[in-house]
Chains A and B, each alone.
Chain A
Amino acid sequence: SQQGEEDPQALSIQEGENATMNCSYKTSINNLQWYRQNSGRGLVHLILIRSNEREKHSGRLRVTLDTSKKSSSLLITASRAADTASYFCATYDYKLSFGAGTTVTVRA
């Protein structure tokens, strides 16, 4: 069964705009990770945020974590066509439990 639920299921934006997606999960976590998947490169790890962190940045990515609400968000700033992909959150308990993902389409 899936641990996380992403929202929205799909997102279409113009190049240069920001994209925000949310993830909710069910149980207490050690850390939460975000992955990107496209047909060309498979599943790629983007960023990890630990349970004692509230916000983390990596390049154009910003992740927040609210353990009291059991939720996380991923913000992609200044989106590019190459950001077109499916994005998954995953909780970590030595194995990963993924949500169903958000499909992001960036229009040129």
Chain B
Amino acid sequence: GAGVSQSPRYKVAKRGQDVALRCDPISGHVSLFWYQQALGQGPEFLTYFQNEAQLDKSGLPSDRFFAERPEGSVSTLKIQRTQQEDSAVYLCASSLAERSDSYQETQYFGPGTRLLVL
């Protein structure tokens, strides 16, 4: 009965460093989402996976951001050459069904990874 988990919970990186953020969705959930939440703002969509397929990456802010979900469960969001503007909370969410199933709209969020780039 575990929920969505994310690691690490906090990450401090020096500008220019690469970071990798991990998300463990609820077991059996087909859909996985990444969101970015800047301080004082609401979360903003980054990318979407349906099983292992990345079907929407329209929210990724630059080509320094890369996400994968190779076996359709755990997902990793990687940020290369981090910049100060990347400082934010990165939220992962999962839901049971595919995006075409309009009656399975509830997304379950993890606690987030707070990234601080110095």
Please give the residue numbers on chain A whose beta carbons come within 8 Å of chain B beta carbons, in ascending order: 1-2, 4, 30-31, 33, 35, 42-45, 48, 88, 90, 92, 94-101
B93 / chain A contacts, CB cutoff of 8 Å: 43, 96
Q: Does B18 contact A (CB under 8 A)?
A: no
Interface band, chain B:
20 to 34
* Cross-chain pairs A/B with CB under 8 angstroms, 9 sampled: A30-B102, A45-B107, A88-B42, A92-B105, A94-B105, A95-B56, A95-B99, A96-B45, A101-B42
Q: A42-B109, A94-B48 are in contact. Are A100 and B102 (CB under 8 A)?
A: no
Is the Cβ of B106 less than 8 Å from the Cβ of A42? no
A-B contact sample (4 more), CB < 8 A, given A45-B108, A95-B99, A101-B41? A31-B105, A43-B43, A44-B109, A96-B107
Compute how far the CA of A96 lies from the CA of B42 in the bound complex, rounded to whole angstroms: 10
Set of chain A residues within 8 Å of B108, measured between Cβ atoms: 45
Residues on B with C-beta less than 8 A from A90 are 42
Q: Which residue of B lies closest to A42 (CB)?
A: B111
- Whether A98 pairs with B44 at a CB distance below 8 angstroms is yes
Evaluate contact between B45 and A95: CB separation under 8 angstroms.
yes
Q: Looking across the interface, which residue of chain A has its beta carbon closest to that of B95?
A: A94
